[in-house]
Chain A
């Protein structure tokens, strides 16, 4: 991605977001009492104002993007295998999604152990044994601190109940 592409994409994204907010999201999801006499004090005023400024910023980004030269160096550092990188990112998204599902079922300790191992192998750790040992110890230590020192009710799950 070049600077020009970043600027144009962000500008178009901001314009779309502003239009979405102004014509759909705010009317749909922001409620206001019917007896508000003054528009400036209405709960709708601030979101509409922000949507307007977002639109203006989007216009500015598009305009400045168009003014930038076409020849430009990529902004982000290139990596060897972008396909594998995208796959790893998708894998991380799955791990995060599963975390949300498993937290209430397996409890925080077991879920943390599983996601520790999964993440360590996703980033291709060169220390698999250390990763497995840490995957067991770190969630247990954190459980001990938060449950017994900080007094947080850490979710226990259906399979493992810790003191």
Chain B
């Protein structure tokens, strides 16, 4: 199928009002969800997921992608107006966004954030379209040993960079892998940790697990500290961003976008490091570097470009390799699975219409983000006024309905509650949840590929180093571990009494 044929197939799938409406609605939900302090883009995507069950696959996935895109930008609104980042990645936006708000220039900061976000979004989407197909065609030559080493590398890097400690990340990933062993054995069909309960034989419900991990801990955190999210919103002010200011920041925006694309396409890095790296690069190279941290709009632009540049790029490993790059794409992979789709290289052959439909939807989402973002900036005060102590019980009820709807099973609601408490303890003990969830998803795949490799070779482990692709992934895994351990040793030597910053 030629490129034009693929685009035509994609267009025939998404060229209807439902798809664009879902995308528009998704962006709006995402912007609002990201803008509400105490909620996050992740939570918004997780809570929207159950509503996609009854939809066509492409419509449901576009809805979720809209929420993702909207949520990433939405997080910058409370970051600038009330110094509370809606997403972890928006923390970099605070550095210059909030000082601008204090000077009565919140409208200007938010405008710049929106323009930078939309520009980065377009660059990120184009990178996805350019690279995903190429990577997928390369990945078609992967066999079980290559996939085993790829997943191992992904889990290593996710465990290493998700939190502030490699060992805590590794523990999180191991817990996720252990949880994934529950159910019937993949080869022999014997019971593993099922306790004779038929509900456990198919393994724990993935949707119950992720909603439990990412929504219930927020509820428990609110119960633990009900007034934690109270903040006072700044007014927008009279100034608005001008095209000249946008043009002045354009270099930082493009640089930040490419940083986002590069870091986003590596599984596990996520948007926060990208936003901070983009910000520090902008400060290093800017003529106004002395203004950074005091309310420099170029700083806001760079942080937001780094943040949003990741959004499309995280879909590269998801679509091309079937490996979710971060927590949100891990949730989105759930939507694919629920609709009977398995992201990965084969999808580019079997479901090319869906792939190109998604690409078209993503390009359109940038325009929707610009429209909805402009309105959302002005409407933030209404969102900020939603009482959190009414919102949280509503989220709880929504979680119960959503999780029940997956399998019509009350047992799943119990799984969600248990996972919620696990997630809350993980937050209290600073264990990153991302490795846990991604290991839980990739666990069966990792084990399956390992056992298939062993079956192929008659249990000869040398098959795991059979060619250049496996060598590459082993080398990357080793390099990742060495780099993280070295960074940890340096941190201990440099600052022995601040262990929370340590990467051990």
- A binding-site residues for B, Cβ under 8 Å: 1-4, 6-7, 9-10, 14, 21, 25, 29-33, 36, 38, 40-41, 43, 46-47, 50-51, 53-54, 57-58, 60-61, 64, 67-69, 71-73, 75-77, 79, 85, 88-89, 91-93, 96, 99-100, 103-104, 108, 112, 115-117, 119-120, 122-127, 130-131, 134-135, 138-139, 142-143, 145-146, 149-155
Partner of A152, one of B165, B405, B421: B405
User: Is B363 positioned at the interface, with any CB of A under 8 Å from its CB?
Assistant: no
Q: Which residues of B contact A93 (CB under 8 A)?
A: 421
Q: Which residues of B contact A153 (CB under 8 A)?
A: 408
Q: Which residues of A contact B193 (CB under 8 A)?
A: 25, 29-30, 47
Residue in chain B with minimal CB distance to A125: B389
In order of increasing CB-CB distance, the 9 nearest A-B pairs are: A3-B499, A150-B54, A43-B185, A64-B504, A119-B393, A125-B389, A68-B499, A69-B497, A116-B393
- Beyond A119-B393, A123-B393, A127-B389, 13 extra complex contacts between A and B, CB < 8 Å: A29-B191, A41-B454, A54-B174, A72-B498, A73-B498, A76-B428, A99-B417, A115-B400, A120-B393, A139-B401, A142-B397, A146-B401, A152-B405
Q: Is the CB of A123 within 8 A of B410?
A: no
SS of A interface (majority): helix
What are 30 A-to-B residue pairs whose CB atoms are below 8 Å? A1-B429, A3-B502, A4-B499, A6-B429, A10-B168, A21-B178, A29-B195, A30-B190, A30-B192, A32-B185, A41-B451, A47-B178, A50-B181, A54-B174, A68-B499, A71-B497, A73-B498, A75-B500, A85-B225, A100-B414, A103-B410, A123-B226, A123-B392, A125-B387, A127-B389, A131-B390, A135-B393, A142-B401, A146-B50, A152-B53
Residue in chain A with minimal CB distance to B195: A29
Q: Is the CB of A122 within 8 A of B171?
A: no
Q: Which residues of A contact B392 (CB under 8 A)?
A: 119-120, 123
Q: Whole-angstrom distance from the CB of A149 to the nearest CB of chain B?
A: 6
Q: Is the CB of A151 within 8 A of B54?
A: yes
Q: Which residues of B contact A46 (CB under 8 A)?
A: 181, 447, 450
Q: Is the CB of B400 within 8 A of A108?
A: yes
Residue in chain B with minimal CB distance to A29: B193
Query: Given A72-B498, A150-B405, do A130 and B387 touch, yes or no (CB 8 Å)?
Result: yes
**0/1 per residue, B391-422, Cβ < 8 Å to A?**
01110111011001100101001100100110
Q: Is the CB of A2 within 8 A of B429?
A: no
Rounded to whole angstroms, the CA-CA distance of A94 and B472 in the bound complex is: 51
Count A-B contacts at CB 8 Å: 218
SS of B interface (majority): helix
Query: Given A61-B168, A146-B401, A150-B53, do A73 and B393 touch, yes or no (CB 8 Å)?
Result: no
Chain B: interface residue total (CB-CB under 8 A): 69
Q: Is the CB of A10 within 8 A of B171?
A: yes
Q: Is the CB of B492 within 8 A of A31?
A: no
Q: Is the CB of A68 within 8 A of B502?
A: yes
Query: Given A57-B170, A96-B417, do A126 and B389 touch, yes or no (CB 8 Å)?
Result: yes
User: Is B239 positioned at the interface, with any CB of A under 8 Å from its CB?
Assistant: no
Q: Whole-angstrom distance from the CB of B327 to the nearest CB of chain A?
A: 21
Q: Is the CB of A60 within 8 A of B396?
A: no
Rounded to whole angstroms, the CA-CA distance of A57 and B165 in the bound complex is: 12
**0/1 per residue, B167-185, Cβ < 8 Å to A?**
1101100110110010001
Rounded to whole angstroms, the CA-CA distance of A76 and B447 in the bound complex is: 36
Q: Is the CB of B387 within 8 A of A3?
A: no
| Chain B residues numbered 154-170 whose CB sits less than 8 Å from any CB in chain A | 165, 167-168, 170
Query: Given A43-B185, A108-B401, A123-B389, do A115 and B498 touch, yes or no (CB 8 Å)?
Result: no
Q: Is the CB of B405 within 8 A of A31?
A: no
Q: Which residues of B contact A64 (CB under 8 A)?
A: 165, 167, 502, 504
User: Is B431 positioned at the interface, with any CB of A under 8 Å from its CB?
Assistant: yes
Q: Which residues of A contact B135 (CB under 8 A)?
A: none
Q: Is the CB of B410 within 8 A of A32?
A: no
**0/1 per residue, B470-494, Cβ < 8 Å to A?**
0000000000000000000000100
Q: Which residues of B contact A154 (CB under 8 A)?
A: 401, 404
Partner of B429, one of A10, A60, A138: A10
Rounded to whole angstroms, the CA-CA distance of A36 and B455 in the bound complex is: 13
Q: Which residues of B contact A85 (CB under 8 A)?
A: 223-225
